[in-house]
Amino acid sequence: MKERILEEIKRLEEQHDIKICFVVESGSRAWGFPSKDSDYDVRFIYVHRKEWYLSIDPKRDVIELPINDLLDMNGWELRKALQLFRKSNPPLMEWLHSGIVYYQAFSLVDKMKAIQEKVFQPHSALYHYLNMAKGNYRDYLQGEQVKIKKYFYVLRPILACMWIEKYNTVPPILFQDLVMDLLGEGELKQEILTLLERKIRGDELKLEPKVPAINEFLENELIRLEEYTKSLKIRKENFTPLLDELFREVLEEVWL
């Protein structure tokens, strides 16, 4: 699959007259709980020529390829990526720390990582993860029987919130790292690890009775974290000049 992804990168660069800086895996494979049938969720950041940015009208700032043969591939243009970086957008932050990197060129990602902790806004990321958890819990885990794969799409954002609360830093991307750091030994942790083993084996589409220990944990944390967010002090700093400088540096580097 990596060879095919690299071929697509080359084709996209030629087709759109762009340079791609960074290509990674996101989603369940990057989070550490893929199944045998999991898609490849490939994400990338790209840069247009200088002339593209000198326009009075806004232009499309994403490239999305049709999903086929388990390959879901799309990317964000540099300026869009830095705007989202300024907001501590969790998906983008996760791209930067994916353990599956298909391609990297130029200094963009290294420069973003170097200032990530400075730019990171805990309250923004926490709100994002909490809203994701609430939505997924409401949509997927209300019935008497549920698909076990859906637990992970609530558990992971809840644990990410707990990490931010505890450390005030970007959460690790691997689900296992969150579980081992944040949960003590006991029934809850064992139930989660058992579900993780089953999901990786492929037992993810079956409807089964809810797991009481996990549901109780999720319900309690959703309520607690909702209250916690009300106590957060929002830090307002202007990182735009810093990111403007980074943008110009990368543009000059890519298009010498």
pLDDT digits (tens, 9 = 90+) for 6-30: 999 999 999 999 999 999 999 999 9
Rounded CA gap, 198 and 185, in Å? 19
pLDDT at 233: 81
More confident residue, 204 or 177: 177
In this structure, what is the dihedral angle of CA atoms 149, 30, 182, 88, given to the nearest 10 degrees?
A: -110
pLDDT band at 205 (very low <50, low <70, confident <90, very high): low
Q: Average of pLDDT values for 66-88?
A: 92
pLDDT at 232: 86
Q: Average of pLDDT values for 89-102?
A: 96
Residue 93 above 90 pLDDT?
yes
Q: Answer whether 255's CB lies under 8 Å from 19's CB.
A: yes
pLDDT at 192: 96
Give the per-residue SS3 of the chain: CHHHHHHHHHHHHHHHCEEEEEEEEEHHHHHCCCCCCCCEEEEEEEEECHHHHCCCCCCCCEEECCCECCEEEEEEEHHHHHHHHHCCCHHHHHHHCCCCEEEECCCHHHHHHHHHHHHCCHHHHHHHHHHHHHHHHHHHCCCCEEECHHHHHHHHHHHHHHHHHHHCCCCCCCHHHHHHHHCCCCHHHHHHHHHHHHHHHCCCCCEEECCHHHHHHHHHHHHHHHHHHHCCCCCCCCCHHHHHHHHHHHHHHHCC
Residue 185 above 80 pLDDT?
yes
pLDDT at 234: 82
pLDDT band at 204 (very low <50, low <70, confident <90, very high): low
Q: Average of pLDDT values for 192-196?
A: 94
Write out the CATH class of domain 2-116+236-254.
alpha beta
Percent of the chain with pLDDT strictly greater than 70: 99
Rounded CA gap, 225 and 129, in Å? 10
- Going by their DSSP bridges, the two strands 40-48 and 101-104 should be labelled as unpaired
Stated pTM of the model: 0.93
The token pair at 106 is 């130029």
Domain coordinates in residue numbering, the chain:
2-116+236-254, 122-230
Residue 121 above 70 pLDDT?
yes
